[in-house]
Amino acid sequence: MYWTLELASKIEDAPWPATKEELLDYANRIGAPMEVIENLQELEDEDEVYECIEDIWPDYPTKDDFFFDEEEY
């Protein structure tokens, strides 16, 4: 499974919490790129409920990761 910011942003607004099947349905309905659908299909646990994008991609950057503090430098 290979996520990028662009791919993950496609499902960021999914109706969380969601199961794998619900995420696949959402991705198909919004016309997400095939890479997003393939990544979701690779999720192993069919019955797991994912609370947010971080459950699928733990390294998903937050807004704090992009915040620049001039005083810090």
Count of domains for the chain: 1
Which pLDDT belongs to residue 70?
60
What is the span of the domain harbouring residue 30?
A: 15-61
Residues in Cβ contact with 48 at an 8 Å cutoff, skipping those fewer than 6 apart: 19, 20
- CB neighbours of residue 58 within 10 Å: 8
Does some domain include residue 39? yes
Does some domain include residue 45? yes
Which pLDDT belongs to residue 71?
66
Which pLDDT belongs to residue 59?
85
Residue 49: phi and psi, rounded to 5, are -105, 120
Does some domain include residue 54? yes
pLDDT in tens, 24-73: 999 999 999 999 999 999 998 888 999 999 999 988 886 665 555 566 55
Does some domain include residue 5? no
